[in-house]
Structure 1
């Protein structure tokens, strides 16, 4: 149709108004058919000249008025914008007018009544159809009355009455049929309205294809997703717009479900794929397409239902997450510290290379192993407590030390910080932590601690550590009701060694004396260096004073043996003072002083001997 003519007839793009005008034009065609019948009736002499031309004038006037109402949009202000009842009543009046003058051909025009009523069945609800039907019976009754009053000659009133009764019966029958049709129409309309609301308000696009893959339905949301009007999509060929990278997969998937639908009639068949498709503006978007088979009630024929969902944002998000994780993993692989993730049972679920190297395993070997595999039982309990506190409180644990046993059975100390790992719903699912190797620091700390309590030259305990051990020995002797001895030893002749052989020789002699003193006592006893050439022995488990004498004589004999140094010999002796606990006291400082006093006594009387503070 020419655009200018179309614009003249249809002044709006409103599809509902266009449909109303189209129906009016079809109804006008019925007037044309009726006019043709009237013309033949006039030529044949069945209708008078006045009736014929009067009818034509009225028909043209009515149609012009109705078109103006539709064209100006006045109909949209009325309760029934389609003006169905008004058009039917106008048509009925026009038919009745012709019947007034149709004489023997009234039965022919009465058939037009039936056609009008049939039209009403499908266009009017039950109530309005009854009103129109009553109006029809009244107008036909009016025609019979007019004939009886003004033109009784040549009229078979028995036939007219019979036709009126038949028409009344037809009206009643049509009312019943119309009520049923109206109910079905309302149900269908309601179902369509529900489906329309669903399809209009979901972002997904719904397609229905026949077995030839022609699109028979598409939801309005296609305009938002792809930029096409639904009418444009219905005219497209199968797979139009699918990108080359997705075309093969799409064709295979659709072909597969069609074949399955033919062979597996009683089963639900569906497939979901990801595919790229071009929008109307040429931009390719990522979509998720679910294909399913829908069948009729008899399950003899089927169609393909497809639901398209835009997953472009989801794909972008997943790609961003993937890149973030890749960057995160790269950082983890290049940091010095070890990173690990374990589940609630303590099994490793992820680790970086640094963590794997700490354990002596590869990353693949470590995954699935429990942290207890790499530590002692005592340390495992400590680690469990730390993890358990994190689980209970939700607070991270920072800087706790963890002794691990590597795959090669060597030991390393690590310092760990652990936090709770949760799912997206907030449920605890494990732990993640950072560790660093602090073995060197631990060794230095132990060394510093050792140096604080041990002599640098001889590696013997200093007076500070000796006093701690003496205090413990006194407590042990009191608890076991036994004795213990404190022996204060001063080397005789050591100054001469230093003066004649030098300080290096003196240091060597001191180390040799320390070793010899250790050989004279048990592992439970203590030998300490408490001065330049002074030593202290704490002997536990002394039952009688003679036990202390035996140790003293052994010390004197061993120490007095010559010490070879740089081709020469050095000889030193030992003066030993002895104090017993509890005989000579139970105070730590008092026992040391008494042993020192006894040592000076032996120094004065002849050296290289021993002396008790109190004669035993």
Structure 2
């Protein structure tokens, strides 16, 4: 108990042996008044204490085996003891063994001071504040906060207050605080782990994004370097991505071609044939090619193209569009017609 033996007046315990102290005490026992004498004296001197106080007040003899010579009626309501239960008995018998070990040296110190006639001067009264456990009449340990004052060289006045509930609340609050600190520490550790995972994930994502950008740049470079047109359309046939070669084939700028539907640059008859081919790829998932279908360039000129078709799927595996290569066959077709005529 950390509060045990805290004194308002500093003192140093003389390293006197236990046997020497006991010999001196025994030698002085013959001259002391009896417990009955002291008890009668207390009743005569302090009648108001018995009637008015709510704290527990007691007076005990100053010795290594002190005895009660006075106890206030409040002991009955707080501890269950009548005065007759305690008078003439040693209070140390009721004190918890662990607390007794700390109180005994303090008591022995003052007994030794008296026997060596080194009693504190009257202008410097000795008061001790104590906290200990005392067994009540029902066998339960009660925490008492006690002030002990030396009345004279034979008696000690104790004023005690039951702080059991206060200690219980303090312990509960301490447990709550400790549990809260533990949870906060666990929470902090969890946050540290989550933060480490996030930092790792961010680093991985940055590397992935950098790799993806490099791949996209290579992909775009390849697409822009080929002479054939590359395209991507949604399921409705609207352009969502294409290269410059496709712009050249159709004669539209990038801004004009973005979002342009297939029916805007082909005849109704061609649109029906194209829909049939694309729908077949959609249904089967297998790539296909269309040979010699006509596109209408901006300005009205016809271009003959050979187109490959592949299905585009999203992350869930669901179809979301088509991609392919469009090769302009117009000039080759024109070259093939005279050749065929000469062959005939």
Q: CA deviation at 1:415?
A: 0.6
Q: Secondary structure at the match of 1:358?
A: helix
Partner of 1:393: 284
1:98 maps onto 2:106 in alignment: yes
Q: Distance in 1 between matches of 2:275 and 2:249?
A: 20
Partner of 1:173: 166
Partner of 1:154: 154
| Structure 1 pair 102–200 and aligned structure 2 pair: CA distance change class (3 A) | farther
| Contact 1:48–1:101 (Cα < 8 Å) also in 2 | no
| Contact 1:398–1:418 (Cα < 8 Å) also in 2 | yes
Partner of 2:43: none
Q: CA deviation at 1:364?
A: 2.7
| Structure 1 pair 354–175 and aligned structure 2 pair: CA distance change class (3 A) | same
Q: Secondary structure at the match of 2:241?
A: strand
Q: CA deviation at 1:369?
A: 1.0
Q: Secondary structure at the match of 2:208?
A: helix
1:334 maps onto 2:225 in alignment: yes
1:317 maps onto 2:208 in alignment: yes
Further displaced range: 342-351 or 316-325: 316-325
Q: CA deviation at 1:430?
A: 1.5
Deviation per CA, 1:190-213, whole angstroms, max 9, x where unpaired? 531441342242134xxxxxxxxx
Q: Residue 321 of structure 2: which of 423, 426, 430 is its match?
A: 430
Q: CA deviation at 1:31?
A: 10
| Structure 1 pair 31–387 and aligned structure 2 pair: CA distance change class (3 A) | same
Deviation per CA, 1:70-126, whole angstroms, max 9, x where unpaired? xxxxxxxxxxxxxxxxxxx878623432134435999844x2537xx9xxxxxxxxx
Partner of 1:38: 11
Matched ranges for 1:178-189 at <5 A: 178-186=171-179, 188-189=180-181
Q: CA deviation at 1:176?
A: 3.0
| Contact 2:6–2:130 (Cα < 8 Å) also in 1 | no
| Structure 1 pair 321–176 and aligned structure 2 pair: CA distance change class (3 A) | closer
Q: CA deviation at 1:311?
A: 3.2
Q: Secondary structure at the match of 2:155?
A: coil
Q: Distance in 2 between matches of 1:329 and 1:308?
A: 31
Q: CA deviation at 1:449?
A: 7.2
Matched ranges for 1:224-243 at <5 A: none
Q: Distance in 1 between matches of 2:181 and 2:106?
A: 38
Partner of 1:268: none
Q: Secondary structure at the match of 1:350?
A: strand
Q: Is the helix fraction higher in 1 or 2?
A: 1
Q: Distance in 2 between matches of 1:136 and 1:180?
A: 17
Deviation per CA, 1:410-437, whole angstroms, max 9, x where unpaired? 1111011111122233332221110111
Q: CA deviation at 1:346?
A: 1.0
1:378 maps onto 2:295 in alignment: no
Q: CA deviation at 1:381?
A: 0.9
Q: Secondary structure at the match of 2:11?
A: helix
Q: Distance in 1 between matches of 2:331 and 2:229?
A: 16
Partner of 2:187: 195
| Structure 1 pair 92–411 and aligned structure 2 pair: CA distance change class (3 A) | farther
Q: Distance in 2 between matches of 1:92 and 1:323?
A: 81
| Contact 1:95–1:113 (Cα < 8 Å) also in 2 | no
Q: Could you say what the CA RMSD is over the residues aligned between the two structures, in angstroms? A: 4.3
Q: Distance in 1 between matches of 2:325 and 2:263?
A: 17
| Contact 2:142–2:164 (Cα < 8 Å) also in 1 | no
Q: Secondary structure at the match of 1:342?
A: strand
Matched ranges for 1:470-489 at <5 A: none
Q: Distance in 2 between matches of 1:309 and 1:380?
A: 51
Which consecutive residues of structure 2, in runs of 5 or more, have no partner in the other structure? Answer: 22-96, 112-118, 134-139, 147-152
> Which structure is richer in relative contact order (CA contacts within 8 A, separation 6 or more)?
2
| Contact 2:277–2:290 (Cα < 8 Å) also in 1 | no
> For this pair of structures, how many residues does the alignment match?
245
Q: Distance in 1 between matches of 2:100 and 2:265?
A: 100
Q: Distance in 1 between matches of 2:300 and 2:175?
A: 89
| Structure 1 pair 327–402 and aligned structure 2 pair: CA distance change class (3 A) | same
| Contact 1:92–1:113 (Cα < 8 Å) also in 2 | no
Matched ranges for 1:523-534 at <5 A: none
Matched ranges for 1:258-297 at <5 A: none
Partner of 2:254: 363
| Contact 1:348–1:368 (Cα < 8 Å) also in 2 | yes
TM-score (norm 2): 0.58
TM-score (norm 1): 0.34
Q: CA deviation at 1:443?
A: 4.4
Q: Secondary structure at the match of 2:306?
A: strand
Structure 1: which 4+ aligned runs deviate by more than 3 Å? 30-34, 47-51, 89-92, 103-109, 133-137, 307-313, 440-452
| Contact 1:419–1:431 (Cα < 8 Å) also in 2 | yes
| Contact 2:229–2:242 (Cα < 8 Å) also in 1 | yes
| Contact 2:4–2:131 (Cα < 8 Å) also in 1 | no
Q: Distance in 2 between matches of 1:354 and 1:415?
A: 14
| Structure 1 pair 376–396 and aligned structure 2 pair: CA distance change class (3 A) | same
Deviation per CA, 1:355-377, whole angstroms, max 9, x where unpaired? 11111122332112112111110
